[in-house]
């Protein structure tokens, strides 16, 4: 028997196109004998629409990421909460008529960044008791805000890079004083929007004179910005899945991102559009004890942040073997060539089986208080 699953992608964030590409990867690999799929797109204006489930429609073409059409048929969520054991009835508005679209057992929000990965859509689904893939409201919101993530990780005795948080009104009021505070951090600095992903709006600052431009770039994405001290270390990432039947989190052997001399850092264009020289090694060429340390830190971060489903924990490994958490992604990139699926492929869990693992977790999860 097949189950019907909805994939939800696009969204209002700057990562709209990457979300669509992620959906294309999953649409091309999901077990169609086991699952029927309804594709739901969220336009840049926030409309939920019924879109094509053909993976060919959601690929990068001539350097351009795909986009959810603005004029699609609007999808309506249920008017009331659904009951455990029942399917979720979706409806669609076509030519002024409301028609049934299908009944789904779970929704997978393949959304990156604000208005999707940050607990907002998760809250909408929780209100209706709709099962979904990934972390809940609090954990999603916590990990979307890099400053909040750092505080939670540090409370769990996990190391993060030194940094300061700056709000746009503070910068406008006294940029000179904030620049002086940043001067206590070792150069280079990384200036990051606190609540954006995929390195959007991120700048590397090697000279304090560059700070003003970097802050303007970051504020274009988010009025809350993080200035972090650069860490000298290897960029090492670890995939995590929730444990089965009450067991602890499952982790992968770490992988390493090696950035060539033609790039300042692993930025948005290099991640998705082939800019510069980037090599990914899976597993990372680290001593066994350091790989084990990365896996331990990733599992501890997953537990400390109360994550569910999946995450990718990005770290730095310093020359003396210290593991410093950089970021935690609750919905990492999920194309067949993205780091998260590649890490699990190395562990013997192929792309299609990884998709199945996450959907089955969602179908059997218990949401909030009943």
pLDDT digits (tens, 9 = 90+) for 133-161: 999 999 999 999 999 999 999 999 999 99
- Asked, colleague to colleague, whether 3-134 and 163-229 share their fold, the answer is no
SS (H, E, C) the chain: CCEEEEEEEECCCCCHHHHHHHHHHHHHHCCCCCEEEEEEEECCCCCEEECCCCHHHHCCECCECCCCCCCCEEEECCCCCCCCCCCEEEEEEECCEEEEEEEECEEEECCCCCCCCCCHHHHHHHHCCCCECCCCHHHHHHHHCHHHHHHHHHHCCCCECCEEEEEHHHHHHHHHHHHHHHCCCCCCEEEEECCCCCCCCCEEECCHHHHHHHHHHHHCCCCEEEEEECCCCEEEEEEEECCCCCCCCEECCCEEEEECCCCCCCCHHHHHCCCCCEEEECCCCCCHHHHHHHHHHHHHHHHHCCCCCEEEEEEEECCCCCEEEEEEECCCCCCCCCHHHHHHHHCCCCHHHHHHHHHHHHHCCCCCCC
Q: Whole-model pTM? A: 0.90
The CATH number of domain 143-159+232-330 is 1.25.10.10: no
Domain ranges, ordered by start, for the chain? 3-134, 143-159+232-330, 163-229
pLDDT digits (tens, 9 = 90+) for 80-113: 776 766 788 999 999 999 999 999 999 999 999 8
Residue range 3-134, CATH number: 3.40.50.20
pLDDT of 299 above 90: yes
pLDDT of 369 above 50: no
Percent of the chain whose predicted confidence (pLDDT) is above 70: 92
Residue 272's pLDDT band, with cuts at 50, 70 and 90, is: low
What pLDDT was estimated at residue 82? 67
Overall average pLDDT of the 115-144 stretch:
94
The whole-chain average pLDDT of the chain stands at 91
Residue 173's pLDDT band, with cuts at 50, 70 and 90, is: very high
pLDDT of 52 above 60: yes
Residue 370's pLDDT band, with cuts at 50, 70 and 90, is: very low
Overall average pLDDT of the 41-45 stretch:
97
Residue range 163-229, CATH number: 3.30.1490.20
Stretch among 158-172, 184-198, 251-265, 287-301 having the lowest mean pLDDT: 251-265
Overall average pLDDT of the 260-273 stretch:
57
Overall average pLDDT of the 336-353 stretch:
95
Percent of the chain whose predicted confidence (pLDDT) is above 90: 79
Residue 59's pLDDT band, with cuts at 50, 70 and 90, is: very high
């Amino acid at each position: 028997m097949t189950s019907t699953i909805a994939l939800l992608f696009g969204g209002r964030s700057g990562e709209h196109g990457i979300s669509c590409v992620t959906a294309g990867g999953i649409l091309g690999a999901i077990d169609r004998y086991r699952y029927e799929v309804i594709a739901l797109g969220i336009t840049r204006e926030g409309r939920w629409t019924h879109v094509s489930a053909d993976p060919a429609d959601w690929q990068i073409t001539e350097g351009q990421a795909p986009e959810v059409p603005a004029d699609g048929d609007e999808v309506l969520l249920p008017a009331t909460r659904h009951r455990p054991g029942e399917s979720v009835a979706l409806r669609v508005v076509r030519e002024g008529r409301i028609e049934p679209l299908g009944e789904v057992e779970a929704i997978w929000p393949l959304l990156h960044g604000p208005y999707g990965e940050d607990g907002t859509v998760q809250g909408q689904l929780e209100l209706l008791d709709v099962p979904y893939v990934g972390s809940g409201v609090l954990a999603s919101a916590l990990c979307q805000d890099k400053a909040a993530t750092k505080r939670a990780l540090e409370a769990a005795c996990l190391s993060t890079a030194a940094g300061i948080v700056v709000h746009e009104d503070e910068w406008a009021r006294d940029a000179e004083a904030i620049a002086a505070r940043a001067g206590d951090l070792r150069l280079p600095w990384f200036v990051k929007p606190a609540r954006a992903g995929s390195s959007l709006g991120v700048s590397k600052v090697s000279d304090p004179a560059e700070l003003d431009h970097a802050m303007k770039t970051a504020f274009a994405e988010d009025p809350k910005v993080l200035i972090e001290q650069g860490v000298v270390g290897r960029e090492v990432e670890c995939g995590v899945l929730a444990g089965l039947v009450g067991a602890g989190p499952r982790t992968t052997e770490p992988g390493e991102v090696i950035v060539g001399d033609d790039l300042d850092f692993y930025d948005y264009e290099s991640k998705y559009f082939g800019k510069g020289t980037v090599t990914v090694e899976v597993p990372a060429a680290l001593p066994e004890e350091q790989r084990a340390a990365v896996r331990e830190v990733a599992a501890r971060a997953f537990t400390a942040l109360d994550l569910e489903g999946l995450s990718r924990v990005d770290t730095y490994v310093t020359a003396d073997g210290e593991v410093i958490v950089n970021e935690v992604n609750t919905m990492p990139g999920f194309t067949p060539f993205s780091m998260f699926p590649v890490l699990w492929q190395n562990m013997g869990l192929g792309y299609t089986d990884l998709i199945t693992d996450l959907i089955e977790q969602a179908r059997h999860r218990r949401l909030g208080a009943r």
